[in-house]
Structure 1
Amino acid sequence: MRTTTGIAAATADLSKVYGSGDTRVVALDRVSIAFREGEFTAIMGPSGCGKSTLMHCAAGLDSPSSGSVRVGTTELSTLGDRQLTELRRDRIGFIFQAFNLLPTLTALENITLPLTIAGRRPDQQWLDRVISMVGLSQRLGHRPAQLSGGQQQRVAVARALASRPAIIFGDEPTGNLDSRSGAEVLGFLRDSVRELGRTVVMVTHDPVAAGYADRVIFLADGRLVDDMPSPTPGRVLDRMKDFDTRSRTS
C-alpha cells in the first residue's frame, strides 16, 4: 500500500465568482480539498460545475475571489507575479487537451523547452527515465507533424515531467485521443505516480479515464459533493448518472 507523506496542494474555502449583478456566476463555492502527495486524483462533475476552474486556481493559473490555495507549504496569495511564475515553472507540470507543441522543434526540444527557457540543464538520468517510460526513445528527432496524436501527447506528458515537478495538472489530457492512445497516456500518468512518486490531478468527463485514478472528487454547482476512493469506471458512471437524474428532476 502506498503511503503519503504530505499534501502536494490544497484549497480552503475557495470561491471564484465571475461577473456581477444579473451576470454574476459562482463557478466555485467554498471548496476545500487537499491533494495528497504520491496520489492520482481525478476531478469530475457535470458540464459547468467548476472542474477546470478548480484546477486552474489550484495550479496558480487563475486567482480565486476568496479563500486560499497552497502548493506544498507555499500560500499562493503571498507571491508576486514573478514568484508565481517561478513556482509554476519549477514545481508544477501541465498537460492540456491540446498538445501545445512547437511545430519547428523536435520531440526532445519540445520536452526540454521549459528547462531551456529557464536556463536550466535537465537532470539527464531523470530525463532518460521519463523518455523511456513514455516510449519515445526512437522518436526524439521527429517534429510534431511526424508524430501521431498519441505520440504528441506522450511528448506533452514527458515535457510536464521533465523538470521533476511536485504536482502535475491535466485538463482533459486524453480528450483529443482515440481510446487506445488515451489508455497509453493514462497509463503513463499512473506510472508517474507509482514509479516516479509524482502527484497527478486530472480533470476529466470520462469514467474510464477516472478509473485510472486513486481517487475521484465530484463537483456540482461549484461545490464539492463526493470523494470516491479506489474508483472503478462502473462506480464512477453510476455516480455521474445520479447527477443527470437530479438535473432532470430539479
Structure 2
Amino acid sequence: MSQAAAAPAPIHAPASAAAARATGLSKVYGSGETRVVALDSVSVEFGRGHFTAIMGPSGSGKSTLMHCMAGLDSVSSGSARIGDTELAGLDDRRLTRLRRDKIGFVFQAFNLLPTLTAYENITLPMAIAGRRPDQAWVSAVVRTVGLAGRLDHRPSQLSGGQQQRVAVARALASRPEIVFADEPTGNLDSRAGAEILGFLRESVRELGQTVVMVTHDPVAAAHADRVVFLADGRLTDELLAPTAERVLDRMRLFDATGRTS
C-alpha cells in the first residue's frame, strides 16, 4: 500500500462493530524547528473480539497510537473513540472513569503492588472504583491465565512470567471493552513470553476479549488475528492471519524501503 495519498483510506477491522476507532488522528509534539509529527492522519478500526498487533520500525508511532487510543495521551487533531465515546470530549474525571471501566492495560513493567497478593492486585481496579468483583468472571480469567494456586502469593514470590500473568488477569478482570498491551513480553524470557501471548490469545478465543498489542516481535505478532503496520506516523499496510515468517518478510520491506509495497 503506497504512502503517496494525502488522506489514506481507513484500515477496517474484520468485525462488524469496532471496540475502538481512530479517524484522521494526528499527534504533533513541539512547534517550529522542534515540531515532530508522531501520527499523521491515521484511520483504523479495532474490531470487537479480535486480537490486533501494531508493528513498525522504531519511531513509527505505534506506541503513540496506542496511548492516544487508550486515553493516555491527547490527540492534536482527528478522532479517537472507545466504542461510541469520543475521547477528546471528555474532561479529566470522565476520562479517568472511562479508562477505569472500559479499558485494560498490560505493560512491560508489570506495575504490581508488592504488598498485595496476586488476587488483591487482580481486583485492585475494582476495589478503587468501589465495585465488587464478578467472582464467576474473575475465576474464569484466573483459569484462563493459569493462576490457580498462586492467588495468595505476593509478587516477590512469583516468577516474572507469573507476575505478568497477574498483570494480564488484572487487565481482564473488570471485563473491559478493550485491552491495550504495550510490548507485554519485552521483559520476559522466550518461554514466559510465549505463555503470556497464549493467554492473550485464549482471552480472545474463550472470553471474547478485544486485544490491541504493540510489538516489535514477529513471533508475538503471529498470535494476533491481524497486524497493522506503521511507518513515519502513517498506516501503510495490514496482514490478516499472520505467521511469523510473513510478518518478518513484511518488516524487511521497511528496512529496505521505509514503507510496505
TM-score (normalizing by structure 2): 0.93
1:12 equivalent to 2:3? Answer no
1:67 equivalent to 2:73? Answer no
Identity of aligned residues (%): 73
The AA in structure 1 aligned to 2:237 is D
3-state SS in 2 of match to 1:136: coil
1:168 alignment counterpart: 179
1:91 alignment counterpart: 102
Unaligned runs of 5+ in 1: none
1:242 equivalent to 2:253? Answer yes
Distance in 2 separating the partners of 1:225 and 1:231: 16
The AA in structure 1 aligned to 2:224 is A
Q: How many residues are paired up?
A: 246
1:198 alignment counterpart: 209
Deviation per residue, 1:11-58 (Å, 9 max, x gap):
000000001111111000000000000110000000000000000001
Distance in 1 separating the partners of 2:220 and 2:121: 25
Runs of 4+ that moved beyond 2 A: none
Offset at residue 4 of structure 1 (A): 3.5
1:24 alignment counterpart: 35
Matches within 5 A, 1:46-61: 46-61=57-72
3-state SS in 2 of match to 1:195: helix
1:154 equivalent to 2:165? Answer yes
The AA in structure 2 aligned to 1:209 is A
2:10 alignment counterpart: none
Deviation per residue, 1:111-159 (Å, 9 max, x gap):
0110110011000000001011111111111110110000000000000
The AA in structure 1 aligned to 2:127 is T
1:142 equivalent to 2:156? Answer no
Supply the RMSD in Å over aligned alpha carbons. Answer: 1.1
CA contact (8 A) 2:137 2:173 kept: yes
3-state SS in 2 of match to 1:102: coil
Distance in 2 separating the partners of 1:75 and 1:168: 17
